Chain A
Amino acid sequence: MDAMGKLSLRFAEWLESMECRVYRGRISDFLGEVLPDTVIVPAALHEQDRLGLHAFKALVIHSVKLLPELPAELRSEKVVLCRPCEGGAIIELCKRNQLERDFVLFGIYSPCSRREYCTVRFSDFDVFVFEVLEFGDCASTAVFIKKGGAVGSEVVERVKSVTKRAELSLEWIESELEDIERAERFLDSCKVSITEFFDRCMKCMGCVFECPVCVCEEFCFAKEAGRCDFPPPPPQFLAFRMLHIADSCVNCGACDEACCANIPLSLIFQKVQRKYWKETGYIPGIDYELSPRMR
């Protein structure tokens, strides 16, 4: 962890070296940009770059998938800045040999559109900033820090003071589970049943594309499991997909947002996951050490 510690220090230094500035506005999320000094950081944006803002969130999720493709010279030292759910995805990918754990995970708790149902509050981050700043419940908020100025200095101070390794335990997660009754209550309040939700599927593949833990080139699992010569039609497709990521889904909700049929996929998945979690004791995306194998 020494190397990690050194790196996180470098990142803190980088933060301090930036001109202090808090950026408020309609911004989708943090942009992971590769800088020459080998860190993936939120890009400092200027008014004239506004065109780029539209790509933001996609880039964060896709930056997870892009990590293995970074040029070798950039891979030795880097910091990944992400939300807890995205961090969870990165942890899962590491455990499944899709990523090498050669970076510092820098987590930020950022308000997001599905916060009310969010189950992933903490992950095994090397550095974690808990509730840096909140701008209401606006999903389109990002914080950019530059050195100097009152607000910025305060942010940097807070970053330093709350920086710690998230402490996690299964017991703590168990207590969290009680809390996600909310998700079920939401499903109960819908006038549509799960079967009816599934029957809406028009197979736009948004859930597959946006899923940070699914690294299939194409959706091969469905083909094999279906034992048919073409991918299964909806709604079986969704059931196959659910099996496919049953033990790795970090419930980030990217699939909900991508779904053309407005199916609350992550909430439905959560129902299944909770049983699996309780049965096996395995919760994805929270801990590097926890093995995905069943007990």
Chain B
Amino acid sequence: MNTTLNFVKTVCPYCGCGCGIVAHTSGGRVTITPDRNHPVNAGKLCIKGRYLNQLLEALKERPKSPLLRRGGGFVEINWRRAAEILAEELKNHSFGFVSSAKCTNEENYLMQKLCRLLGSNNIDHCARLCHAPTVSALSRSLGSGAMTNPLDDIAEVETVFVIGSNAFEQHPLVATRILRARDRGANVIVADPRRTITARNSDIHLQIYPGTNVALLNAMAKVIVDRGLYDRDFLRERVSGFEEFLSFVSSLSVEELSRVCGVKSSEIERAAELVSRRTAFVYCMGLTQFSSGTDGVTALANVALLTGNVGREGCGIFPLRGQNNVQGACDMGALPEFFPGYARVSENVERFEELWNARLSRERGLSLPEMFDSDEVEAMYIMGENPAISEANCSRVKRKLENLNFLAVQDVFFTETAEHADLFIPVASWAEKDGTFTNTERRVQRIRKFLNSGFPSDLEFLSEVSGFLGFNFPSTPREVFSEIERAVRQYRGLGELLYGEVRESNGEAGETFWGGKVLHSERFSTPDGKARLFAVSYKDPAEKPDSSYPFLLTTGRVAFHFHTGTMSRKCRALTQEVNSTFVEISRRDAERLGIREGEMVRVVTRRGEIEARAVIGDIKEGVLFVPFHFSENPANALTSDVLDPLSKIPELKVCAARIETERGVKVKPVEVPAEGE
């Protein structure tokens, strides 16, 4: 009798950290443990990863076959028929394509190729809602929107500057590195309106108002310039635009900007001094999800460039990616303005027409929020995303979904978006397929199948659909990756490492980073090889507090859940921790309004209202926080869909709001400290 344990090495499907996990299968039982030799997590995992086995249990709840809407309900059909119906609809309507940062590189590549072969560039995915400003800002400042250094470099720095990220809850394996740096004597600075666990573990907490990042960063740039803390050699040799930037900075006043952000100018000065050392600039959605998102990232890049913290080891700019493969989905060109490998649509049509042997559109396509506004989009094909909950001002999105001529939703689970679908296609989860994910530090990693379910993968289904359209896409990840290597310069040569005989490539640091460990070490990938400073002035958020909406509302996540909860809310252990929405309010505001901890209140904005449990916390006065995981009380019923003009990201992180109590009394407005003057 042989009961040998089998194990498969793969990657966690939750966030962009890309932790290695090992799935042990023995007699039909699956146990998932952290991979002890994985360079990202070395035997550690966050709570979501620890309970992945409960997610596997939830896979049993999936619809067993594709569902086609007939009258008021659905009828079951097989996948081949589903592919045929979808192909027919794709021929007859003008589609918007939504790809997925949860899917593999190979699947994203096929999705965007399908869209483009059908003659449009209307393809986008949730990167629009997270790091679109990173791509638009860093690609003009540095030439590339990717994280400049490997995560391990964070542990080596003298200062960690965290802005708009609660890494302890959302990227725990980044927090591990921040703590390692701090234990080695580094100073940690956190800019956040909330006193999050990340802020509690910092040396300086800059408790700014939501939407004032540009003011804070410009003030820091001003201090750095005025005190001569900038890196002269670096600026001379590798950066352009310094002269213009100097004249811009001279017009700024630290005092004035510090009033805008609501922190003391002495704190800003101290922070500026500290970041002029070897610094890691870590940021997340708290910098990007604003109508000034591109400006925010640009202002951060300015500070990093002034202090010479780019293009070297042991420092860098670290945009933390939310999804496991949002980096990869962008690399694969699931974006309306870029072909694979960030080849701008307008400039690279000929190359891709030759590669794909087809006529392509040379017009920039519609971004995700634009698709929900445009009449051009008559039908949609959504793969692995849940815009009914994740998009800003989601009631508008639901109206659009209802009015489409045809909506195909392809997902592991039957989501809130699927409720509006004409065709729902259940597919294999990450446990049931092979492929590659690219994590936040550009590390391309293999995922491996360890469960058999009989469900086709997204890739297999896309391949089947393409067959009905005469495109005949390859049906194995390996074949698709070979094509990716031809299309995406950065991925060239990785196929053999990832799919070849050497199966250990995930374990060797540096081996599968695209672009090498440190980006920009020789030259920046701009036309002249130099990075560029851009003067960006502070602009107020689209909504400011007034007498009817006296609070600023910001949104975010908690440690126990992931995004719209499609995965994490199916895990019992995680729902036991938190399973309902809440609104965090400062102690003084709560006292003024007579709100008790745990009381049910209504949060109201110009677009909608939700019920939420009041939680009294260390949040800045005049600011409210609501997590966006809970579809029964969706935070995005409240959020603003004003877009950043450059990156088209909605202003999810700030809008004006008020609180009403259950007693139905409209609570009198709170006095909010003056700002923006």
Q: Which residues of A contact B (CB under 8 A)?
A: 26, 28, 33-36, 50-59, 62, 66, 70-71, 73-74, 190-192, 199-200, 202-206, 209, 218, 230-231, 234, 257-262
Contacts and interface: CB of A to CB of B under 8 A. Distances in A.
B452 interface: no
Nearest to A63: B5
Q: Is the interface of B mostly helix, strand, loop or mixed?
A: mixed
B1 A258 contact: no
A52 to B, nearest CB: 6
A262 B183 contact: yes
A36 B36 contact: no
Contact of B45 (A53, A73, A204): A204
Interface stretch (B170-178, B268-276, B543-551): B170-178
A141 B537 CA distance: 57
A202 B507 contact: no
B411 to A, nearest CB: 27
20 contacts: A28-B37, A51-B503, A52-B7, A53-B37, A54-B9, A54-B37, A58-B22, A190-B183, A200-B168, A202-B172, A202-B175, A202-B559, A203-B47, A203-B559, A206-B50, A230-B577, A234-B197, A257-B44, A260-B45, A260-B172
Contacts of A218: 572-573, 576
Nearest to B167: A202
B22 A54 contact: yes
Contacts of A206: 34, 44-45, 50
A258 B34 contact: yes
A208 B219 CA distance: 45
B46 interface: yes
Given A199-B201, A204-B46, A259-B44, A54 B4 contact: no
Given A51-B503, A74-B1, A262 B179 contact: yes
A239 B34 CA distance: 24
B183 A202 contact: no
B197 A54 contact: no
Given A230-B576, A260-B172, A54 B35 contact: yes
Contact of A55 (B33, B45, B168, B185): B33
Contact of B44 (A55, A200, A258): A258
A229 to B, nearest CB: 9
Contact of A36 (B2, B168, B197, B201): B2
Contact of A231 (B1, B4, B183, B576): B576
Interface of B: 1-5, 7, 9, 20, 22, 24, 26, 31, 33-38, 43-47, 50-51, 168-169, 172-173, 175-176, 179-180, 183, 185, 197, 200-201, 503-504, 507, 559-560, 572-573, 576-578
A55 B507 CA distance: 12
Nearest to B1: A36
Nearest to A217: B573
Contact of B168 (A51, A59, A202): A202
A70 to B, nearest CB: 8
Contacts of A52: 7
Contacts of A33: 4-5
Contacts of B169: 202
Given A34-B4, A58-B22, A262-B180, A51 B504 contact: yes
Contacts of B183: 190-192, 262
B180 to A, nearest CB: 6
Contacts of A262: 176, 179-180, 183
A247 B583 CA distance: 40
B507 A54 contact: yes
B5 A204 contact: no
Contact of A257 (B26, B43, B560): B43
A209 to B, nearest CB: 5
Given A28-B37, A202-B172, A258-B44, A55 B24 contact: yes
Contacts of A70: 3
Contact of A62 (B4, B33, B173): B33
A212 to B, nearest CB: 13
Given A191-B183, A206-B34, A258-B34, 8 more contacts: A35-B2, A50-B503, A54-B38, A59-B5, A203-B560, A204-B45, A204-B50, A205-B51
A55 B50 contact: no
A287 to B, nearest CB: 30
B56 to A, nearest CB: 16
A70 B572 CA distance: 27
Contacts of A231: 576-577
A56 B38 CA distance: 12
A200 B180 CA distance: 12
Contacts of A234: 197
A204 to B, nearest CB: 5
B44 A204 contact: yes
B577 A54 contact: no
